[in-house]
Amino acid sequence: MTSVFLTRLDSPIGRLELVGDDVAVTALTIERDGVLPHDGEPERSNDVLDAAREQLVEYFAGTRTEFDVPVRLVGTPFQQAVWRELERLGWGEAISYGALATAVGKPGSARAIGGAVGANPVPIIVGCHRVLASDGRITGYSGGNGIPTKLWLLGHERIGFAA
């Protein structure tokens, strides 16, 4: 049986909650309206979550541009293909929903791509904030407080976008 671990940290975009098992981060949640999914539960960290926590602190401080903690992304084969492409994006890089659709072999499926991007269980570490409309506009963000959270992350990575 796998153990479940939990830790939290403060960040410029609100409190973050990390969930993991013995070997990988399985979820990262950005608080929405001051609430995290497991607020009532005590923290119980492990080496993986401690490393993720440290890397996130460094990311927000501007001293880390890539993550190397193990993540376990559970989803459909289509979602997993989209998330693998997101993992390839680096600090400061952006991609459009259409280009992402083409990259996973499903051109013309930008709407389905949006659903998969929004279902990413480990935002920031797997940079779903780096996906923009084909004209560079921000079309939405499901993490934290939505578009303001995405705006902060894009600004932090100096990713340009259309207003």
The pLDDT tens digits for 127-163 are 999 999 999 999 989 999 999 999 999 999 999 988 7
List pLDDT tens digits, range 39-96.
999 999 999 999 999 999 999 999 999 999 999 999 999 999 999 999 999 999 999 9
Q: pTM value?
A: 0.94
Residue 162, pLDDT score? 84
Q: Which of 150, 145, 143, 144 is nearest to 94 (CA)?
A: 150
Q: Say if residue 37's pLDDT is above 70.
A: yes
Residue 163, pLDDT score? 73
Residue 107, pLDDT score? 95
Contact 36, 15 (CB under 8 A): yes
Please state the separation of Cα 43 from the chain's center in Å: 21
Q: Catalytic residue among 6, 16, 30, 128, which? A: 128
Looking at per-residue pLDDT, the higher value among 19 and 139 belongs to 19
User: Beta strand 95-96 with 16-20: parallel, antiparallel or unpaired?
Assistant: unpaired
User: Beta strand 131-132 with 25-30: parallel, antiparallel or unpaired?
Assistant: unpaired
**Structure-derived torsion over alpha carbons of residues 37, 42, 44, 45, reported in degrees to the nearest 10:** 60
1: confidence class by pLDDT, cuts 50, 70, 90:
low
Q: Say if residue 109's pLDDT is above 70.
A: yes
How many degrees, rounded to 5, is the angle at CA 36 between CA 100 and CA 160? Answer: 35
Q: Say if residue 11's pLDDT is above 90.
A: yes
Looking at per-residue pLDDT, the higher value among 104 and 1 belongs to 104
User: Beta strand 16-20 with 25-30: parallel, antiparallel or unpaired?
Assistant: antiparallel
Could you confirm whether 128 is annotated as catalytic?
yes
Contact 127, 121 (CB under 8 A): no
